[in-house]
Amino acid sequence: MKILVFGAGQLAQMMYLAAAPLGVDVYAVDVNSREVLNPMSKEKLDMSIEYAISDVDAVTAEFEHVPEDLLLLAEKSEKLLPNMNAILTGADRVREKQVFESNAIANCPHMVINDLSQLDASIQALGARIIFKASRDGYDGYGQWRLLSGDEKPKLIQAFASLDLKRVPLVAEKMLSFEREISIIGARDAKGNTTYFDVAENLHHEGQLHVSVAPATHLAQSTINKAHEIFDRIATALNYVGVLAVEMFQMGDSLIVNEIAPRVHNSGHWTQKGADTCQFEQHIRAVLGFPLGATTSSGVTAMINVIGCTSFSRDIISIEGCHLHWYGKELRVKRKMGHINVVAENYASLGEKLLQLLAYLPEEYFPLLRGEAKRLSALDA
């Protein structure tokens, strides 16, 4: 069997690696050059996108920002999973908010801005602390502006004046005081069968995910049940097939949905060694109609992103339970170059292993790791 992935980055690469043991071939589309590639070697394959769609059993995407004409081409083949509406919803914060509101899913108080004259009204409605997000094409902290006091309003006006808010509106969100960010990664097949991985807690620095720990610490079963319910409501509303990520803010016993990702997700990379079936294999299973795999966790796992850095010793893999996943990208500032998964029997052991890991890493590129290692080391003691 064969799958075509829109996007030729590391997620397509990891889908390729997960699909191979199942006897499934994976091709990728560079949506900029519109060439069909081998996701691992990046070798150009002698086939058009149209032929590739006709030749494969399913078409999917590794990211949301796929040109709509390509999505429409795949949608017409009836092979696109998840469907075009789900992918476009993940790509557009306005559409995303509409899904939340129409399905009674708690999310950040917000206002859509398509004209600069609405700025004052948004401040009056949402308060003095607001995060403004481009409704499309923003990720890893890009396309975001923060208002922390009234003194910063002139700078915002200057920044927004150059934007085409009619074409790409802003979503103004009230900045909430939440305890932590968590995410639920799950999968749904065409028959409506659903599986969930353990809820992960996520640590961000300058808008980028740096560390995920799963299962999340000190998480009540009632909160886990709420996360599953939210996942189900979104997946059902979108008639979803495949792996879906839902990012949420935890505020006491309440969960506030931040955003969704209609694909395999960075905060689910821990599943590669930390769960019986990883998220990449689960996505392959879901879109091809294979039985969904077990998602039982094997101990506790931390996923650490390697961002803008290549200068560290590969001797990190001498640490028991430590696994390196390298993407083979050209080095750039703030670029995700790879990730490290560390699996342990309990949180205290995981914390100790993360402290060992720091002996091999330039700490300036991993600013949250020591604090998280110490926190985990104090648990289960």
Looking at this protein, which amino acid is placed at residue 47?
A: M
Does the model's pTM come out above 0.85? yes
Nearest Cα neighbor of 26 from 10, 15, 41 is 15
Number of structural domains in the chain: 3
Boundaries of domain holding 136? 109-174
Nearest Cα neighbor of 381 from 351, 356, 357, 358 is 351
**pLDDT 10s digits, 59-113:** 999 999 999 999 999 999 999 999 999 999 999 999 999 999 999 999 999 999 9
98 in a domain, yes or no?
no
Q: Looking at the structure, tell me whether residues 154 and 185 fall in a common domain.
A: no
pLDDT band at 370 (very low <50, low <70, confident <90, very high): very high
Nearest Cα neighbor of 278 from 305, 257, 298, 255 is 298
Question: Which residues, listed in sequence order, are joined to residue 297 by a DSSP beta bridge?
Answer: 275
What is the CATH classification number for the domain harbouring 188? Answer: 3.30.470.20
**pLDDT 10s digits, 234-256:** 999 999 999 999 999 999 999 99
Nearest Cα neighbor of 101 from 217, 295, 233 is 233
Question: Which residues, listed in sequence order, are joined to residue 343 by a DSSP beta bridge?
Answer: 301
In DSSP notation, 179-241 reads: SEEEEEEEEE-TT--EEEPPPEEEEEETTEEEEEEESPTT--HHHHHHHHHHHHHHHHHTT--
Residue 246 DSSP code: E
CA distance 110 to 131: 9
Q: Looking at the structure, tell me whether residues 16 and 113 fall in a common domain.
A: no
What is the CATH classification number for the domain harbouring 57? Answer: 3.40.50.20
103 in a domain, yes or no?
no
Could you tell me what percent of the chain has a pLDDT over 90? 88
Determine contact, residues 341/323, Cβ cutoff 8 Å: yes
Output the pLDDT for position 140.
Answer: 62
Q: Looking at the structure, tell me whether residues 304 and 196 fall in a common domain.
A: yes
**pLDDT 10s digits, 288-298:** 999 999 999 98
Q: Looking at the structure, tell me whether residues 219 and 166 fall in a common domain.
A: no
In DSSP notation, 69-96 reads: HHHHHHHHTT-BSS-HHHHHHHHBHHHH
What is the CATH classification number for the domain harbouring 153? Answer: 3.30.1490.20
